[in-house]
Structure 1
Amino acid sequence: MESEPPAPFPASLETVWGLRERPHKGPKRGLTLDGIVTASIAVADAEGIEAVSMSRVAKELGASTMALYRYVATKDELVMLMVDAAIGPPVPLPPHVSGWRAGLEHWAVMMRVALSRHLWAVSLVAAHGPPVTPNQLAWLDQCLQVLSETRLDHGEKIAVSLLVSGQVRSELTIVALLRQDPAGAELRMAGYGKFLRRVTEGGRLPALRAAVADGAFDDMDAETAGESADFDDFAFGLQRALDGVAAYLEEQG
């Protein structure tokens, strides 16, 4: 029995890849796929991704909702293109950056910077499955180029890209949640260390109690914040992830 042919790319995705001719102008003069995506990002930046709908974007552009469907078939397609435009193309490696470790560090930091500008996109980067859009695949390509000098096979290189990009998204997911309700987050975090001291009394959760007693959570309390505020959680986590890659490379000889 013959297998079914693979499903074609959505028309909008084929358009951004240059595999399909861009739609001719419709009744609304000046309406373009790029303009639709840009307007959608502006709505998401201002009000959150939940505010984005085909009708809302059409209103922002002074067009009919049906006019948008000449360029993008569904909201899911639109969101996919929004995420790609939000992350943008990868930043070229500076001349002074050499070696796989420095290259990966640059790659991760620049990805963090790009996603920090549009935090609504963080949870959506992997929502549509493997990357298929131009910018996302360009980021993956850059990572593979950085790792080309190593002895990792292609599957291992892709796994490293997932490890490092996951580190970026994990940290930014927390940042995004905190920014959604800054007042509430500040209130919850203000006394977190004291709360942990209370619930770990009497021998409960001994390992956590030891961390609390050592002051590991003091920077979250308003009264003690500042003593360890210079600690960079993202940089620490990234370096430990890169240490793991380095150790694996050493093991492989």
Structure 2
Amino acid sequence: MSEQPELPRGIALAWGVAANPQRGPKREMSVEKIVDAAIDLADAEGLTAVSMSAVASRLGFTPMSLYRYVTAKDELTLLMQETALGAPPDDVNEAESWRERLTVYHDALMGSYLAHPWVLELPLATLTVTPNSAAWLDAGIAALVGTPLDDDARLSTTLLVSGHARSAAAVVAEQHRGADFGGVDTDGEGGVLDALVTADAFPDLRRAIDAGVLQSGTDPFRFGLERILDGIAAYLAGPNVGETAAALPARADDSDVHGDKKYREARKAVREAEKALRAARTHQRQTLRDARERQAKRAT
């Protein structure tokens, strides 16, 4: 592993390798509590409601108290995104086939976005910039273990499916936000499209509306996901993939071991260990801070 680069403080906090915050006057304050309060605020009132002063007020502290732990709003929103996104669920890579695994991956990622739709308003971060974003990327790549795709193709496929999940979640979230558009019901037969789209101006769209597409109840994004997976399946069945796979050196992770119970248990243990390590580092920082406070009191 290469030498660890000097990280921005927000990223270092996410990975649990940041230097201890400056000692504050309130021992009950922590980065985790600040992030949780900010997420609660964003969930209730939207991302625009989140500011250092608003979060401080929610916690009953002054804004300067927060800056001892989180030094900027950009730092705070990065940590909010990391916590809100969470880690991929264990069942992502427990399905039988790569196609089923990617479907579970897609739906779980889309669900994470919709649980906190304000995350979709944040700019896309650099790949693997935080532990949970790295965990999602790892889960997508792992879903393709056992296929003849090389590492580049596995990453590209993961990004393709992830992008579809994010785009679909953004559309659904926007529809929810616009459920009442100017006092006009935007859903069902009384919706804006049904009310305003005419056969003269938009003949094909009008025909689709009359055919009942707005009331079909089908998932409009499932078709797109299935065609993406069809495309990957067709590519895997093509002759070029077989030739590429034959030219690749043998790799231990190229066997389809996802159905093996011990393998799944080992992967789960690794994820739990990584989570425990991050928690332990957080506890270590808090303990060291408390020890310094006790030492300072004894010195006075």
Deviation at 1:75, TM superposition (A): 0.7
Are 1:97 and 2:98 matched, yes or no? no
Structure 2 Cα separation of the partners of residues 193 and 21 of structure 1? 58
> Which residue does 2:115 correspond to in 1?
117
- Give the match for residue 243 of structure 1: 230
1:133 maps to which of 126, 130, 134: 130
Q: Which runs of 5 or more residues in structure 2 are unaligned? A: 243-300
1:218 deviates by 3.4
Does the 8 A contact of 1:108 with 1:165 survive in 2? yes
Distance of aligned partners of 1:239 and 1:134 in 2 relative to their CA distance in 1, 3 Å threshold: same
Structure 1 gap ranges (5+): 1-5, 202-208
Question: Quick check: 1:40–1:52 contact (8 Å CA) kept in 2?
Answer: yes
Identify if the C-alpha distance between structure 1 residues 133 and 95 changes in structure 2 by more than 3 Å, giving closer, same or farther.
Answer: closer
AA aligned opposite 1:218: G
Q: TM-score, normalised by structure 2?
A: 0.70
The question of 1:218 aligning with 2:212 is answered: yes
Count of matched residue positions in the alignment of Structure 1 and Structure 2: 234
Q: Give the CA deviation at 1:242.
A: 0.9
Following the alignment from structure 2 to structure 1, what is the Cα–Cα distance between the partners of residues 161 and 32?
30
- CA contact 1:48–1:120 (8 Å) conserved in 2: yes
Please say which structure displays the higher CA radius of gyration.
2
Superposed CA deviations along residues 194-253 of structure 1, whole A, max 9, x for unmatched, are 53334436xxxxxxx345325477343xxxx3xx12x11122221111111111212223
What is the CA-CA distance between 1:153 and the residue it aligns to? 1.9
Give the counterpart of 2:173 among 165, 172, 176. Answer: 176
Q: Do 1:15 and 1:22's aligned partners in 2 also have CA atoms closer than 8 Å?
A: no
Paired residues for 1:186-205 under 5 Å? 187-188=185-186, 190-193=191-194, 195-200=196-201
2:44 to 43, 46, 54: 46
| Secondary structure at the counterpart of residue 76 of structure 2 | helix
Instruction: Work out the CA distance in 2 between the residues paired with 1:34 and 1:170.
Output: 29
My pick for the range that moved more, 41-50 or 87-96, is: 87-96
Deviation of 1:182 after TM superposition, in Å, equals 1.8
Displacement of 1:72: 1.8
- What amino acid maps onto 1:74 in structure 2? A
Q: Percent identity?
A: 36
Q: CA RMSD in A?
A: 2.5
Q: Distance in 2 between matches of 1:164 and 1:182?
A: 27
| Structure of higher RCO (CA pairs closer than 8 Å, 6+ residues apart) | 2
Normalised to the residue count of structure 1, the TM-score between the two structures is 0.83
Cα deviation for residue 129 of structure 1 reads 3.1
The C-alpha deviation readout for 1:13-42, integer Å capped at 9, x for no partner, is 213312234436511221111111100000
2:21 to 15, 20, 23: 23
Most deviating of 240-249 and 20-29: 20-29
> Using the alignment, how far apart are the partners of 2:133 and 2:119 within structure 1?
12
Q: How far apart, in 2, do the equivalents of 1:131 and 1:47 lie?
A: 28
